[in-house]
Chains A and B, each alone.
Chain A
């Protein structure tokens, strides 16, 4: 079974964008989450990330991230309430606890923990959208000339993690299928078996990488022979790997960052948990929140017609190959299904 965070190719602007543009956009939303403590701004950043994911078709990834984010947020709130004794509004006095001493649960500590938790949820959603919408191969390709060893490690990990997850699922199934008279599989033997299997897998994947020429000189330094017979360094890329949506994501990301920094400088982060909770709802956090929510629309395809496909009135889909040049003498593209 596939992880909801696994990359799924879809024909959307966010998926088409270069990794740099997608990272700039989603990274800006995550940066806002780290810059601000205002629940209003955090909520707006979370809505923006979730909206972006939904528009990019990563609905299940967003759902899973929200679930996982809340599973992390709840313990944060509880632990913060137990270990932080600051705040004036005491909700409960739980007495002396070993290691923790006097434990007073305050409304301020709960609110502070909730902000931490909300921040974790926002970052989780942004990461989930990145993970399911940005092609890891393109990211690794971009990294390879800069950091070859790191790219190799990332390649191995990105391949082995899903393989190890599949192996673990198989081992779990085999453990359940053991007869009642067989020794129980046990966690330790299963973990040992999984580790041994993963090492075998890693050796196989490494062999495949060898066979694909990964051990050769880095592509950055690869050279080609020019027409004059001289060995020259690679010429600039003859065609760009970016997309027409790149500028949109770079622009939205930059706008969000600039607005967030400006609002922060102007005192827009009007949240203080201690000694009593203060939530500033001035014009700058409200304006920033509105901008953030709107930024979630960046992955929206303005022309809603899917590329290369038309839906005629009878509802039947028909494919048109956009790569086929259609000159003036070519037959007109049939947008309607022929009468049968």
Chain B
């Protein structure tokens, strides 16, 4: 972004000086001597692992800390000239907008128009001014068609845009966003980031965005601030951030940066476009250009990549060839209807699907594509209207909110007896029998919920035929995702067909051997992960978007191709 738009030297949009803060009864400080200044019109990305203090810093900037949460605070926070520690969130609402992770709890009105209008009404704007403000922000966010709808009929992406509109309608000088894309599919997530960038450029609003999926927003940012244990560990440009993260905290590097780092190419790229430009300057025949992907593979000496490793399972069935592993889940001509807006809608439309024991399958697709509905039907929560869906070896389903499974105050009370102990052993939590589930970490709570779903379905140490996880990586940093990949591998190794509904393409490329892509209730792609995750744009990994080579989706695979040696895709 140009210096003109960022307006350095003007009064800062946010100034934090020596801010330390501890939540009530917390054993340690959530923020420790944080000093930070954001210029008007600057787009700043806030990076860091879970519990590093990102959300607390955002809450301090909008006045929720300490006014709403209480606790002990020291230092100064100034937002567009207003003292955020003296003024409450209501007073600050005129100069700062805040969008949280969960869009469900950010709406307080029944209709979209009323939700967006509320801050203006609270400010005392007259009706004509309110009507114009609502219209302007709705047009800016491309949601005028939603104004007449009720909020409970919106998808997650739509709801997140409405929350953003309500935060922006007062034309604040600073907008704070706490992992706004964590519940969105790749399409809606990318749209939201570029919408923010457009508003940042057109309206001159400063943006402070906390995110875990850095590859999604690093290219849009002017500056990156990384936090660690409540303190600022890094503050600089996106390019220097990648060099720092590579050396200091590799969990914060992006897949494209890892690809370059393994391949020994400098500098590390902040996004797909820069990565392609850098590769083009090295003369590597990758990225979009005159050559087709297969021609580029021949030039790179890897013509075998992207070839299907095995034939289409349905064709195998037609030819009477039996799969070696038993079937874990089988759907035949499956139709599922759900009620919406007083009418019944087809959510799954006549799909055929077979998943084998020991397979690791990523179920992907946009919000509303039917992923969760399919899993719930497999678990018996929804009855299909036509066709059949069978899980001969049983199914254990972990839904999107693991906390829903935890209703008691001791792990051992949730899982009594030998069946409970076996389930705890299956997820590696046998040491936590006497713990309170609320004292466990987020990842441990997720594993405990999975153990509750598994309990009693295991014959000895044998798992049920299908273990299904619905969106398990929401709000997870990369470290926790790696733990989850290890758990999935161990479950599959013990014979369970593991099906994970996810929006996270990078996570899918890490764990899945097969990807089933749903679109509008039908299977639009089904094949090896390398093939499906390199065959498009939105449902493709960053490495696949950079290299545009069939079958190359992970940094390791990409680096192997670039170096012209090593192993191909799994």
Contact = CB atoms under 8 A, between A and B. Distances in A.
Contact of A210 (B64, B107, B126, B455): B64
Contacts of A215: 88-90
A185 B90 contact: no
A217 B124 CA distance: 9
A177 interface: yes
B415 A173 contact: no
Interface string B116-148: 001101111011100000000000000000001
A162 B91 contact: no
B404 A174 contact: yes
Contacts of A224: 124, 126
B102 A162 contact: no
Contacts of A217: 124
A214 B91 CA distance: 10
Contacts of B414: 182-183
B188 interface: no
Given A179-B457, A213-B90, A207 B64 contact: yes
Residue among A9, A176, A185, A192 with max Cβ neighbours from chain B (10 Å): A9
A181 B404 contact: no
A238 interface: yes
A212 B399 contact: no
Interface in B36-66: 62-64
Contacts of A138: 114
Contact of A216 (B91, B128, B452, B455): B91
A275 interface: no
B381 A219 contact: no
Residue among A156, A178, A189, A237 with max Cβ neighbours from chain B (10 Å): A178
Q: Interface residue tally of chain B, by bracket?
A: 35 or more
Interface string A180-207: 1111011001101100010001001111
A170 B404 contact: yes
Interface in B450-478: 452-458
Contacts of B407: 175, 185-186, 189-190, 192-193
Contacts of B376: 173
Interface string B302-345: 00000000000000000000000000000000000011111000
B128 to A, nearest CB: 5
B416 interface: yes
B381 A176 contact: yes
Contacts of A159: 107-109
A222 B124 contact: yes
A31 B563 CA distance: 83
A243 interface: no
B248 interface: no
A301 B152 CA distance: 27
A234 B128 CA distance: 13
Given A136-B110, A183-B408, A208-B105, A178 B119 contact: no
B153 interface: yes
B423 interface: yes
Residue among B62, B122, B153, B340 with max Cβ neighbours from chain A (10 Å): B122
A2 interface: yes
Contacts of A67: none
Contacts, number: 191
Nearest to A200: B105
Contacts of A156: 108
Contact of A211 (B93, B379, B422): B93
Nearest to B394: A179
Contacts of B94: 213
Contacts of B124: 216-217, 219, 222-224, 234
Given A179-B452, A182-B452, A190-B407, A137 B122 contact: no
A179 B423 contact: yes
A325 to B, nearest CB: 16
Given A159-B107, A173-B376, A182 B128 contact: no
B405 A209 contact: no
Interface string A57-94: 00110000000000000000000000000000000000
A2 B422 CA distance: 39
B119 A9 contact: no
B201 to A, nearest CB: 25
Nearest to A155: B108
Contacts of B490: none
B21 interface: no
Contacts of A266: none
B539 interface: no
B28 interface: no
B423 A182 contact: yes
Contacts of B342: 4, 8, 59-60
B292 interface: no
A94 B355 CA distance: 63
A211 B404 contact: no
Contacts of A210: 63-64, 67-68, 88-90
Contacts of B456: 179-182
A181 B415 contact: yes
Given A8-B342, A210-B88, A212-B166, A177 B399 contact: yes
B122 A9 contact: no
Contacts of B153: 2
Given A177-B397, A189-B408, A183 B415 contact: yes
A177 B379 CA distance: 7
Given A158-B110, A211-B62, A6 B453 contact: no
Contact of B105 (A59, A162, A204, A216): A204
Contacts of A208: 105-108
Interface of A: 1-2, 4, 6-9, 59-60, 135-138, 141, 155-156, 158-159, 162-163, 170-171, 173-183, 185-186, 189-190, 192-193, 197, 201, 204-217, 219, 222-224, 234-235, 237-239, 241
Given A179-B456, A205-B105, A211-B62, 17 more contacts: A1-B339, A2-B152, A2-B339, A2-B341, A135-B114, A162-B152, A163-B105, A170-B404, A176-B381, A177-B398, A180-B455, A182-B456, A212-B119, A213-B119, A213-B123, A214-B122, A237-B126
14 contacts: A177-B381, A177-B453, A178-B455, A180-B455, A181-B457, A182-B420, A205-B105, A208-B105, A212-B122, A213-B119, A214-B122, A216-B90, A217-B124, A238-B128
